Each structure stands twice: as structure tokens, then as C-alpha cells.
Amino acid sequence: MPKITVLPQETLAPEGKVIENVKQGEPIIRALLDNGIEIEHACEMSCACTTCHVVVKEGFDSLEEATDDEEDLLDKAWGLKPTSRLSCQALMADEDVVIEIPKYTINHAKENH
């Protein structure tokens, strides 16, 4: 089974994390939440916001293509990259992925003090 490597993110995963044995077809967000990474999901995973935005650093091509609805929402995401996905819509395939969780979301900006 594939794994998800989460790169270090200051507030949600300061040390980063490797999530082993992720089920194929499982949304990335479900694996994150089930493993203690409390990524925002203001729309309760219904593809209606961008708070669960992630950047897929490796394994992007293994994921099913984004729908038009997801693409339209991603245009509003903070820190959009060519390999950005909404983690509620990105379903795991049979390859490992490496993701980065952006520091900010359009819903909630966190600042360093």
C-alpha cells in the first residue's frame, strides 16, 4: 500500500510525518486527519472551499485528474502551484506521494510573532 510523506509544516506537522499503508481510493485528507494532522476543512470535505489545499511534491501524476469544480476552487487558494490539489478530492492511487501543507489558507491566516 502507498504512503504519504508530509513535509514539515510549522503548526500542523512540525516534524513532518510519514503515513504508511494508505488505502487506494482514500482521499488524502482522510489519511491526514486519521493520523493526527488537523488540516483545515471548512466545507467538511465537500469541494466547496480551499482550506484543505496541499501541494503534491512527488506522485502528482499518480492521482486522478482534478475535476473542473476543484480547478475553479484552486484558483482561489493561497500559494497555488501547478501541483496543487484539494486534499479532500485527491484520491490515493498505488504510488507514494509527498505533500506540503501551505502555511496559510484563504480561511485563516496564521502569522509568526
pLDDT, position 46: 92
pTM score: 0.90
DSSP-derived secondary structure letter, 21? S
Residue 106 lies in a domain: no
Q: How far apart are CA 9 and CA 25, in angstroms?
A: 25
Residue 50 lies in a domain: yes
Q: How far apart are CA 8 and CA 80, in angstroms?
A: 18
Residue 105 lies in a domain: no
Domain coverage including residue 52: 4-100
Residue 113 lies in a domain: no
Phi (first) and psi of residue 13, to 5 degrees: -155, 70
Q: Per-residue pLDDT tens for 13-62?
A: 999 999 999 999 999 999 999 999 999 999 999 999 999 999 999 999 99
Contact 85, 54 (CB under 8 A): yes
CATH number of domain containing 10:
3.10.20.30
Residue 9 lies in a domain: yes
Q: Per-residue pLDDT tens for 52-63?
A: 999 999 999 999
Written as one string, the DSSP assignment of 14-37 is TT-EEE-SPPTT-BHHHHHHHTT-
pLDDT band of residue 10 (cuts 50, 70, 90) is very high
Q: Per-residue pLDDT tens for 56-101?
A: 999 999 999 999 999 999 999 989 999 999 999 999 999 999 999 9
pLDDT, position 106: 66
Give me the number of domains the chain comprises. 1
Phi (first) and psi of residue 34, to 5 degrees: -70, -15
Q: 29: phi > 0 → left, psi -120 to 50 → alpha, else beta; which?
A: alpha
Reduce the DSSP state of residue 91 to 3 states and report it: strand
Residue 112 lies in a domain: no
Residue 113, pLDDT > 50, answer no
pLDDT band of residue 105 (cuts 50, 70, 90) is confident
Q: Are strands 84-86 and 17-19 parallel, antiparallel or unpaired?
A: unpaired
Question: Which residue has 476543484 as its cell numbers?
Answer: 70
